[in-house]
Amino acid sequence: MTDELINFDMSANQSSIIKVIGVGGGGGNAVNYMYNLGINDVSFVICNTDAQALVNSPIPIKVQLGESLTEGRGAGNKPDKGRQAAIESIGEISRVLEDNTRMVFITAGMGGG
């Protein structure tokens, strides 16, 4: 196995290469907290089936998971519904990650939905 170094140098006009993604209620709370601390050089993303949680979040990049499946009302503490919602939204998730992403941290509470 060879060690590879990842070049994290970027010009001032490039977007951040590190994304912190909060998924669901618990992950969203964690990312909202980090965002409000004013952490720089990181792009924050929030993903949720609950449309109201997205509206109330200060995070600028938002992905509503399973918009057709859940109609914005959450996954109802049903993990399989949460998984199906993420699959429904895989195109939008992919688009968020295409934007100069080199490293992703995902935070989620895994509370049931």
The CATH number for 90's domain is 3.40.50.1440
Q: How much is the pLDDT for 2? A: 60
CA 32/CA 70 separation, integer angstroms: 23
Task: Give the pLDDT confidence of 80-103 residue by residue, as tens digits.
Answer: 999 999 999 999 999 999 988 999
- Given a contact cutoff of 8 angstroms between Cβ atoms, the answer to whether 49 and 64 are in contact is yes
Q: How many domains does the chain have?
A: 1
Domain assignment of residue 37, given as a range: 23-108
Q: How much is the pLDDT for 6? A: 57
Q: Is 77 contained in some domain?
A: yes
pTM greater than the 0.75 cutoff:
yes
CA 15/CA 31 separation, integer angstroms: 18
- Categorize the per-residue pLDDT at 5 as very low, low, confident or very high, splitting at 50, 70 and 90: low
What stretch of H or E contains 84?
helix 79-88
Q: Is 16 contained in some domain?
A: no
Q: Is 93 contained in some domain?
A: yes
